[in-house]
């Protein structure tokens, strides 16, 4: 999902997406610890995507304050 698409999400959708992606990341990380992933760069991409979502959420919180 691109940043322009992230900006268009509502705050509730953003919170749901963050929770979903964190769960997916935890599952991938555990699977990688058990047996290596075919493409371990997926972990890095997921982490950065979660950071983008959290950044947008923090921007919105600062604008409301």
The predicted model scores a pTM of 0.92
Rounded Cα gap, residues 59 and 31, in angstroms = 33
Condensed to tens digits (0 to 9), the pLDDT of residues 8-52 reads 999 999 999 999 999 999 999 999 999 999 999 999 999 999 999
Rounded Cα distance between 45 and 35, Å, is 19
Question: 1: pLDDT confidence band, cut at 50, 70 and 90?
Answer: confident
Residue pair 57/18 in contact by the 8 Å Cβ criterion:
yes
């Amino acid at each position: 999902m691109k940043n322009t698409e992230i900006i268009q999400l509502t705050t509730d959708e953003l919170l749901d997406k963050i929770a979903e992606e964190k769960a997916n990341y935890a599952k991938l990380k555990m699977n990688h610890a058990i047996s290596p992933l075919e493409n371990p760069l997926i972990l890095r991409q997921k982490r950065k995507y979660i950071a983008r979502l959290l950044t947008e959420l923090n921007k919105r919180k600062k604008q409301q304050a």
